[in-house]
A and B are shown apart, each in its own frame.
Chain A
Amino acid sequence: MKRFQYLLWFAHEHVSFRLHEIEAIASVLKIPIKWIEPPSDKPWYLVELPSEEAVQKLSARSVTMRRAIHLWADEPTVPRLHASLKEKCLNGLLEPYKLKSFKVDVDLFCNSQTQEEKLERIESFSYMPFQGHVDLKNPDVTFQYIEYYGLDPKIVPANPTRTFFGRVVSESGRPLIHELSLKKRTFIGNTSMDPQLSLLMANLGKVSNGDLVLDPFVGSGSLLVAAAKFGGHVIGTDIDFLMLHGRTRPTRKQTRHIARKDESIEANMVQYSCVDKYIDVIVADSALPFWRSDVEFDCILADPPYGIREPTERIGSKESLPIIKKEGSPVHFPSKIEYGLNEIIKDLMWFSSKHLKLHGRLLFWVPVFRQDYNDAQMARHSCFKLIGNCEQVLTTFTARRLLVYEKIKMPQDTDECSSAIPAASTFREKYFTHGDENRLTRKQKKAEAAKNKEIWFAKLNNVNVK
């Protein structure tokens, strides 16, 4: 079988998610990948794929990739790249594209260029026997030229350390990130997940057409939107009645004085034309079993509350024999008790061990205090294998990690589960005290700097006077 070499060109963000995403998509689409170069943190993967169609399908779902390029030249220096291309053009590489309209895109990684420099670079390919006209808006074929200057923006070499040239085969799924932008979404909450990370979750969760996907902490439904976009049929549950009915305090600052109207997860699904994939949302406490005992989901996605911006609560009472008072409102709002993050996670894993299909994926986020972080503290369950553990840095001290699990066996009575995220019980406390300390020291530093400046000016004046 004839195979082709492709360069998968990535956006340089969420680097730790990249490999998991590509592997998950390839597995869903059953596309075999042969690595020409072992995957690294550099912004490209060099791979062999069975067909151009496979490349198109793969890149269409990826949100970490920019575009896929059929590689024509890959050289360590610019002159060698041109020499290689010249020779290949003589051998008729350009023949099929000679008469087509085209454009050349130039990317510099870890360096910048002015418009003139960019034009110069494009002009440097003028030896190529193009006969078609340049069309910047809608070309028949796009070429990509890449100069790579290393990964460290502090040490940028004078010349690129690697150069690529090739024909763009397909664009990635990144336009979806803009399509699902929270700025224009009908219904958002305070903790709505950013579209790129939601889409990443759906990809890492291997959501595919016709899957039944559950989010047990659905909130405003960001994860459902992403899962539905990739063919999942979605169900969500949440303990917050007002949230699911779109009656919480407005989230957007500009319209904070106007009450929400016609906002709901279903409205979002309509907005993104995937309401066909929307099953239902249910007001329920995920700490309690309310599903038929043999229900199986294909994928479970969750962003559990951390207790920072959303409370960690379950239904319960501190009283041993609670009494319900008659209230005026037709809806009774039960009292809630604290529900620790480790408890939430353990319950989620127990639940998934029963209600996730075999080889299905469970994904959820946990907050971590970066200096305390240790792999061993992450949740474990004998039915699950940890596939991925990707960090998204939030502040100097805090981050959250996306844990990706695959169910490797059916549940038994002897199963064990543990979760010992140390920051979990105290994360909130630390989050705020660290912030305070930080603010305080910053204030002190500022005061000191101001004082020093004064002394310096005083000295300067003294000198001037003398």
Chain B
Amino acid sequence: MKLLTHNLLSSKSLKGVKVGYPLRIVAKDVKISECEFNKEFVKKIIPKLDWKVFVNAAVEIGQTSDLSDELIEDYEDDDDYLKKVHHLLMEVEIINGELICPETDRVFPISAGIPNLLLNENEVS
């Protein structure tokens, strides 16, 4: 699971959960794999991100970067900046680990890079 996916997921389908965002991450195996930089994509995806959640998630799984809590204004022309974002979004992958609901502590396992958000029949609201 990539950090981009983490940024988009919530646990709000759980019974009684209001926001369910952001999910906490426990990363057991992290893989870094190179992937071609697509400037167009990164430029288009940044406005779709919850930026603070993204930066915090990177720290949470031990990826150091000098990205600050605030998104810089003129990122569209800053190739170095976009490349850093690209690296954290697309090249860092959690192979095994857990996503944890911030309200109920329900654990969603990540195995073979695939998060499992299936609920049990008694958890569906």
Contact = CB atoms under 8 A, between A and B. Distances in A.
B8 interface: yes
Interface residues of A, number: 42
A293 B12 contact: yes
Interface in B37-65: 38, 40-41, 43-45, 48, 50
A291 B10 contact: yes
A307 B119 CA distance: 22
A209 B43 CA distance: 11
Contacts of B111: 245
B30 interface: no
Contact of A322 (B43, B116, B122): B122
B21 interface: yes
A184 to B, nearest CB: 24
Contact of B119 (A233, A293, A334): A334
Given A288-B13, A292-B8, A282 B45 contact: no
B71 interface: no
A288 B108 CA distance: 15
Contacts of A292: 7-10, 21, 50
Interface in A225-282: 233, 235, 239, 241, 244-245, 264, 266, 275-277, 279-282
A316 interface: yes
B25 interface: no
A290 B38 contact: no
Interface string B5-45: 10111111100000001000000000000011010110111
A261 to B, nearest CB: 13
B115 to A, nearest CB: 5
A332 B122 CA distance: 12
B67 interface: no
A212 B44 contact: yes
B2 interface: yes
A contact face: mostly helix, strand, loop, or mixed: loop
B117 A284 contact: yes
B116 A293 contact: no
Contacts of B21: 292
Contacts of A280: 1-2, 4-5, 113-115
Contacts of A233: 38, 41, 45
Contacts of A96: none
B72 interface: no
A212 B10 CA distance: 18
A276 B90 CA distance: 8
Nearest to A214: B8
B10 A315 contact: no
A75 interface: no
Nearest to A291: B8
A283 interface: yes
A322 B117 contact: no
B117 A209 contact: no
Contacts of A288: 13, 119, 124
B66 interface: no
A266 B113 contact: yes
B120 interface: yes
Given A290-B11, A295-B8, A241 B118 contact: yes
A317 interface: yes
Contacts of B112: 245, 264
7 contacts: A210-B43, A233-B38, A244-B114, A276-B36, A290-B11, A334-B118, A334-B119
The 9 closest A-B pairs by CB, nearest first: A210-B40, A288-B13, A210-B41, A317-B121, A284-B117, A276-B36, A280-B5, A283-B116, A322-B121
Interface of A: 209-212, 233, 235, 239, 241, 244-245, 264, 266, 275-277, 279-285, 288-293, 295-296, 298, 315-317, 321-324, 331-332, 334-335
Given A280-B4, A292-B7, 15 more contacts: A212-B48, A279-B2, A279-B5, A279-B90, A283-B115, A284-B117, A289-B10, A291-B10, A292-B9, A292-B50, A315-B124, A323-B122, A324-B120, A334-B121, A335-B121
